[in-house]
Amino acid sequence: MNTGEGTKKSIEDLISVMAALRTPGSGCPWDLEQTFATIAPYTIEEAYEVADAIERGDLADLKDELGDLLLQVVYHARIAEEQKAFGFDDVAAAVTAKMIRRHPHVFGDAAQRAAGAAKGFWERIKAEERSAKAAERARLDRDAGKAAALGSPSLLDDVPAVLPGLTRALKLQDKAAKVGFDWPALTNVFDKLHEELSELQEAIEAQSVATPAEGDAGHDHIEEEFGDLLFVLANIGRHLKIDPEKALRGANQKFIRRFNHIERSLADQGRSPQQSTLEEMDGLWDEAKAIERAKGADT
């Protein structure tokens, strides 16, 4: 491998770098200690950093973050190769085959291209892929000496548990909706929202009069009802074709902007938020809202 700084590198170079890092005796001690589980949090973090660069419109950052995300793929593939499960080439071959299989209207024969993407085709292909994946998983488990999983695969099995809660809720709801398990109209979801909000309020009121021995159970019940409320809010987003995670990120950024205005305004007076009152900060918050609205009216 050419390690010259001025030489343009390829994916093969990156794979070679990872192999060197993971080589016992001469590799990096930290890299050699890593497993799928220890690397997974970094994989998730890098995906978020890609999304952040896109939202900020920072293409220079996006290039770097995509490289970091690619490194995660190479990392996992190398660990799998060491376990004689699969390698990077297998990952690339599988996703290439999947893209071709899912787009017969682009890569198929003349009749398939002329027919276009038929209704229901995507769901049928996904079902076939789930069956194929189950067979592949069983083969890998046999090779690893694991016991076969019991029961039939569920429609919801391929929604990853590690997704952010709101995103996973959206995907679970969408999967169920595709087989008809869905509220017929948005008004029904709002009815459910009011029901869940009432149940949360009731759980909070019950906790306020609970004995110390009942306290933990009451708090667990409040947490459960709060989760139900969030799940319904995600469903409202789905019906409105709004990504709840994206909407929440927008709300977070708005909160940061407005709180920064409070901090700057107080700093101009030689004070900090700790040296202010809630009423004063509320007034500055409203001032920040008015400034944002005025700017919006000007654009």
Residue 123 in any domain: the answer is yes
Residue 298: pLDDT band by 50, 70, 90 thresholds? low
Q: For the domain that residue 236 is a member of, what is the CATH number?
A: 1.10.287.1080
Q: Are residues 268 and 234 part of one domain? A: no
Whether residue 148 is contained in a domain is answered as no
**Residue 3 within any structural domain of the chain:** no
pLDDT band at 299 (very low <50, low <70, confident <90, very high): very low
Same domain, 176 and 276: no
Tell whether 255 and 235 lie within a shared domain.
Answer: no
Asked whether residue 159 is domain-assigned, the answer is: no
Tell me: the pLDDT tens digits for 246-283? Answer: 899 899 999 999 999 999 999 999 999 999 999 999 99
* In a shared domain, residues 94 and 170: no
Q: What is the pTM of this model?
A: 0.64
Examine residue 72 and state whether it is found in any structural domain, yes or no: yes
Domain count along the chain: 3
Same domain, 51 and 86: yes
Could you list the residue range(s) of the whole structural domain that residue 222 is in? 165-242
Are 109 and 204 found together in one domain?
A: no
DSSP letters of the chain? ----TTSPP-HHHHHHHHHHHTSTTTS-HHHHH--HHHHHHHHHHHHHHHHHHHHHT-HHHHHHHHHHHHHHHHHHHHHHHHTTS--HHHHHHHHHHHHHHT-HHHHS-HHHHHH-S-TTHHHHHHHHHHHHHHHHHHHHHHHTTPPPPPSPPPTTTTS-TTS-HHHHHHHHHHHHHTTT-S-SSHHHHHHHHHHHHHHHHHHHHHHHT--GGGHHHHHHHHHHHHHHHHHHHHHHHHHTT--HHHHHHHHHHHHHHHHHHHHHHHHHTT--GGGS-HHHHHHHHHHHHHHHHHHHHH-
